[in-house]
């Protein structure tokens, strides 16, 4: 089966397609922005990458969300819930983690069907 890499670099690809499954790298927003702005930016990036891979947000199978601080859970969820729109909600897990830099407050990893 063919493996296709999208926006590949020396360290990682932003997306990898294997068969009819699309795996996205963890997406982050602009460092230092609010949780709301970072989450909005991340979700836009996810939509763009899924489109490049021949998929869309309605085909997301699972999402893993990392927050630098679980106190930001409600703020992130307000953006997420609006984006999902009450339908086609994927399986999802959210946890707290030390992200790559303290300026990142949210990171989202997605797996989708094509």
Better-scored residue on pLDDT, 102 or 1: 102
For 58-109, what is each residue's pLDDT tens digit? Answer: 999 999 999 999 999 999 999 999 999 998 999 999 999 999 999 999 999 9
> What is the domain range of residue 38?
3-113
Q: What is the pLDDT of residue 1?
A: 79
Q: Tell me the mean pLDDT in the region 29-55.
A: 97
CATH number of residue 30's parent domain: 3.30.1330.40
Instruction: State the total domains in the chain.
Output: 1
Contacts of residue 89, Cβ cutoff 8 Å, sequence gap at least 6: none
Gap between the Cα atoms of 78 and 2, Å rounded: 38
Q: Tell me the mean pLDDT in the region 37-66.
A: 98
Q: What is the pLDDT of residue 96?
A: 98
Contact 63, 109 (CB under 8 A): yes
Q: Is 4 helix (H, G, I), strand (E, B) or coil?
A: strand
What is the CB-side half-sphere exposure of residue 15 using CA atoms within 13 A?
A: 24
Q: Is the pLDDT of residue 30 over 90?
A: yes
């Amino acid at each position: 089966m063919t493996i296709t890499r999208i926006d590949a670099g020396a360290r990682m690809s932003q997306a990898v397609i294997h068969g009819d499954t699309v795996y996205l790298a963890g997406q982050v927003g602009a460092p230092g922005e609010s949780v709301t702005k970072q989450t909005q930016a991340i979700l836009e990036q996810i939509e763009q990458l899924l489109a490049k891979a021949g998929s869309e947000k309605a085909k997301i199978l699972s999402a893993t969300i990392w927050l630098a601080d679980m106190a930001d859970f409600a703020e992130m969820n307000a953006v997420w819930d609006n984006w999902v729109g009450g339908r086609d909600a994927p399986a999802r897990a959210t946890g707290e983690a030390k992200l790559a830099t303290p300026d990142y407050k949210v990171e989202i990893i997605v797996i989708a069907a094509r």
